[in-house]
Structure 1
Amino acid sequence: MTLIKSISGIRGTIGGKVEENLTPIDAVKFAAAYGVWIKQQRDKDNYRVVVGRDARISGEMIQNLVMNTLVGLGIHVIDLGLSTTPTVEVAVPMEHADGGIILTASHNPKQWNALKLLDSKGEFLNGVEGEKILKIAESDAMTFAEVDDLGKITKNQAYIDMHIDAVLELPLVNKKAIENANFKVVVDGVNSTGGIAIPLLLERLGVHPIKLYCEPTGHFPHNPEPLKEHLTDLSNAVVKERADLGIVVDPDVDRLAFMDENGEMFGEEYTLVACADYVLGKVPGNTVSNMSSTRALSDVTEKHGGSYEASAVGEVNVVELMKQNHAVIGGEGNGGIIYPDLHYGRDALVGVALFLSLLAEKKMKVSALRATYPSYFMSKKKIELTPQLDVDGILKAMEEKYSHEKLTTIDGVKIDFSDSWVHLRKSNTEPIIRIYTEAPSQNEADQLAEKIISEIKEIANI
């Protein structure tokens, strides 16, 4: 079992020993550290933090521990109950709150849970602030409130509806065209809060959803990561219902994937490509994704006359570069759409609304839309190395070997060839090099990965 402390929060498996798993004591300790950090940001009389959770089984227990720890620090809590990651992100500035906590382990299985931490803008903390919280958690610098100064918990379960209101008010969301298209859509909510939010959004858009696993029980009916091999039931339902498309999200609703009318994956990497194509067709501008995302976004951006930039892997890095480049849309290749006109966070709800607007205006089938985009294929592999090997030295040697190619070294080494690329990154927790490649065919992507692996093994003498 596992407990992982990082700058983005704390995550782990439920039960077991303290400091080895996500136990009640670990949840309290980390929530307290976050509360102390919140109070260090600004000297004021009243502090407010928004807290919401996905539907996983341990969520209510962890949420009660977290909320009452904040109350013990004299911080008032706005309890959203069952919610989504983007909904909490939207709620923080709406509430003029000092921060937010989302209790979710995202696409991890049901035994996992996590505390994801937000700042006063409803955005994930950067590395510097995350490090401060880790240090507070390991210190004795926690002073709790006296009895007359305890915080209070206020329930507000209207925020999913308010989030949907904000999506529908976006000028680029073409509600009338979507309603007129009379789409038939199957939704896989993986028995979490996407099963609440996505059908509600579709109904507000004039679409009647066919629900699959939309009861927020936390008993995930399949591996909750929205990948092809986990979505056989959705594929079968789309074909059986003769639906126009299928929609699937992860448990906290920040990742989004589509399925075409034939029950085939649109491609998680292409969620962002399609949404960007729609936005750039209306509003000229730039885009950003992380270095391990498909080149198709760059192709589509350039087609519309914009410029594309790649950030280091991690949502906070994507957001930072989007702000620097004034990107009109960005995100990650794992189906994460970041649309700044709403907020700076991955949001499946806004992704659904933009994608359906594009599909309705194009008046074409999902498979035909996919065929309009450049076709690339990815390979994702890793090499396990002995702890004694110098991983940084190996990456440096690969950088020198390919110095004549276009290189990016802000996050490992990315080598851009004329029609393909490879991205090499080391793990922060174990002696592993991750190797991501992309090429015009799956065979070429796999062959490029194997070639790079053999070169690394030769350098490392293994």
Structure 2
Amino acid sequence: MTLIKSISGIRGTIGGTVGDNLTPIDAVKFASAYGMWIKQQRNKEHYRVVVGRDARISGEMIQNLVMNTLVGLGIHVIDLGLSTTPTVEIAVPMEHADGGIILTASHNPKQWNALKLLDAKGEFLNAEEGAKILEIAETDEMSFADVDSLGKITINDAYIDMHIDEVLAMNLVNKKAIEKANFKVVVDGVNSTGGIAIPMLLERLGVHPVKLYCEPNGHFPHNPEPLKEHLTDLSEAVVKANADFGIVVDPDVDRLAFMDENGDMFGEEYTLVACADYVLSKIPGNTVSNMSSTRALRDITEKHGGTYEASAVGEVNVVTLMKKNNAVIGGEGNGGVIYPELHYGRDALVGVALFLSLLAEGHMTVSELRASYPNYFMSKKKIQLTPDLDVDGILEVMEKNYAHEKLTTIDGVKIDFTNSWVHLRKSNTEPIIRIYTEAPSQHEAVDLADRIISEIKSIANI
């Protein structure tokens, strides 16, 4: 089964059979359900939806299917063409649109694609809204427009430029200091739309970009998830170019990671930590990340006199808690920076601009910056379970076994020890338990994960 239907949209592999993969029929079905949901939100004469895509090989096909389905529902479409997830997110309110769709499977390999769905604020749908769209998709509630009421498609390919304008206009972006620093930066755009957007942003900030895999042809040169083991080419390119650092983004440009001047990973978890450090030094306040993100954000937040709180995993959950706590910055440990001054969505362009401002004002190298932060190491593992096992029951036993520790149970079970933590959560799509740990050393993080895995296997008799 490679078609995954969730509250945030639908994703799957291209080709194959209907209902088991992301076929043209499935794309039309779920675009229709989303369009119907849009029209149910309020009674008005004209509806507008913004649509953009990353550079995946299947992107143009899926986008044409989605856009013309919306046209068939009488909905007008603003076609951004090649774009980024955060660009579509800011375009929705700027266009006074009723919603948005991004055609991207984020960090998944090239055979995958997806429909990511946005509301009228340009934010991901909540659980109730997503569930309603899935419900509509399984019914016969579709009603299409007559020939005189069809929607129209308007092309607007200026939004990446407009997105950059908005980033440069942010109060904390110190363009003068960045220009004066005369940075040279290698950019790995994984042959998707980050190869368009990030070099454009750097050039406008007075930074010299060295392009690596910046041709938006959808042929990913390596696994597109921005992890250390996938980035040997970037590491070599940074050293060879004698660059100040390297930047890598995922295909839809909402995840951001850095590499220092020595070709070593800054740490994807520390992207948000660094950006938060800069923002909090200017605007004291609160922060939010999800429960599987590094404790370093809490440490930095408290250093600046703010309060940190963790949400359930998922961008929509992070955003909800950020609004509740009036957080000045937040995001996810996977390199996702959410800065409310611009919009409530993970945005690599925002992260790059804040990071450059921090470096330029601090007059330090990237390795020196990394050394200034608390040192934590993570382990991410999973246990494959048989479908008949009671995963909730297993987690309940673990909760009881560690009742004497600090526990959080809003999303699985998170156990906070003095110098480490473990987060256990079940997958929504397959019979596995994910085990994330963090400790002061990689050895301790792995040992903690292995110990917890042994305990779970003992409870489950596997």
TM band (smaller chain): over 0.9
Aligned equivalents of 1:347 and 1:192: distance in 2? 15
Q: Deviations over 1:407-451 (max 9, x none)?
A: 000000000000000000011122211110000000000110111
Mapping of residues 307-456 of structure 1, within 5 Å: 307-456=307-456
Deviation at residue 207 of structure 1 after TM alignment: 0.7
Alpha-carbon distance in structure 2 between the residues aligned to 1:288 and 1:193: 28
Q: Residue in 2 aligned with 1:196?
A: 196
Moved over 4 A (4+): none
Three-state SS of the structure 1 residue aligned to 2:328 is strand
CA–CA distance in 1 between the matches of 2:218 and 2:228?
21
Please give the alpha-carbon distance, in whole angstroms, between the structure 1 residues aligned to 2:217 and 2:390. 46
1:223 aligns with 2:223: yes
Pair 1:3 & 2:3 matched: yes
Q: Which residue identity lines up with residue 6 of structure 2 in the other structure?
A: S
Partner residue, 2:163:
163
Q: CA deviation at 1:461?
A: 2.1
Do the aligned partners of 2:189 and 2:251 also contact (CA within 8 Å) in 1? yes
- 2:302 aligned partner: 302
CA distance in 2, matches of 1:182, 1:338: 27
Amino acid in structure 1 at the alignment position of 2:287: T
Question: Structure 2: how far apart are the matches of 1:17 and 1:454?
Answer: 39
Cα contact 2:437–2:445 (8 A) shared by 1: yes
Following superposition, the deviation at residue 455 of structure 1 comes to 1.1
Q: Deviations over 1:355-390 (max 9, x none)?
A: 000000000000000000000000111111222221
How far, CA to CA, are the matches of 1:228 and 1:457 in structure 2? Answer: 30
Tell me the residue number matched to 1:65: 65
Partner of 1:273: 273
Report 1:106-125 matches (<5 A).
Answer: 106-125=106-125
Aligned match of 1:31:
31
2:3 partner letter: L
Q: Which moved more, 1:423-432 or 1:117-126?
A: 423-432
Distance (whole Å) between structure 1 residues aligned to residue 226 and residue 455 of structure 2:
32
1:91 Cα offset (Å): 0.2
1:254 alignment counterpart: 254
Question: Is contact 2:4-2:11 (8 Å) kept?
Answer: yes
Cα distance in 2 for residues equivalent to 1:338 and 1:15: 34
What is the Cα deviation at residue 454 of structure 1?
1.1
Q: Partners in 2 of 1:83 and 1:69 — Cα distance?
A: 20
**Aligned residue number for residue 53 of structure 1:** 53
- SS of 1:327's equivalent in the other structure is coil
1:147 aligns with: 147
Matched-pair identity in %: 86
Distance, in Å, in 2 between the alignment partners of 1:302 and 1:329 is: 14
- Per the alignment, in what secondary structure is the counterpart of residue 106 of structure 1? coil
Give the counterpart letter for 1:311 in structure 2.
S
What is the TM-score normalised by the length of structure 1?
A: 0.99
CA distance, structure 1, for counterparts of residue 117 and residue 173 of structure 2: 29
CA distance in 1, matches of 2:91, 2:193: 16
Determine helix, strand or coil for the equivalent of 1:51.
Answer: strand
Q: What letter matches 1:294 in structure 2?
A: T
* 2:174 corresponding residue in structure 1: 174
Corresponding residue of 2:461: 461
Report matched runs for 1:71-82 at 5 Å.
Answer: 71-82=71-82
- Could you state the TM-score of these two structures normalised by the residue count of structure 2? 0.99
Q: Distance in 1 between matches of 2:378 and 2:88?
A: 32
Confirm or deny: 8 A CA contact 2:4 2:429 kept in the other structure. no
- Letter matched to residue 152 of structure 1: K
Is the Cα–Cα contact under 8 Å of residues 48 and 75 in structure 2 kept in the other structure?
yes
Tell me what 1:284 maps to: 284
**Paired position in structure 2 for 1:239:** 239
Correspondences of 1:122-133 after superposition (within 5 Å)? 122-133=122-133
Offset at 1:103? 0.2
Distance in 1 (CA, whole Å) between partners of 2:215 and 2:407 is 47
Q: State the 1:399 CA deviation.
A: 0.5
How far residue 148 of structure 1 moved from its aligned partner, in angstroms, is 0.4
Work out the CA distance in 2 between the residues paired with 1:450 and 1:209: 42
Residue 93 of structure 2 aligns with which residue? 93
Q: Distance in 2 between matches of 1:110 and 1:428?
A: 23
Q: 1:96-137 deviations in whole A, cap 9, x for unaligned?
A: 000000000000000000000000000000000000000100
Distance 2:298 2:402 in 1: 22
CA–CA distance in 2 between the matches of 1:449 and 1:215? 39
Q: Distance in 1 between the 2:22 and 2:387 partners? A: 27
Q: Deviations over 1:188-209 (max 9, x none)?
A: 0000000000000000101110
Consecutive unaligned residues in structure 2, runs of 5 or more: none
Q: Is the 8 A contact 2:55 2:193 kept in 1?
A: yes
Distance 2:224 2:373 in 1: 27
The CA deviation at 1:212 is 0.4
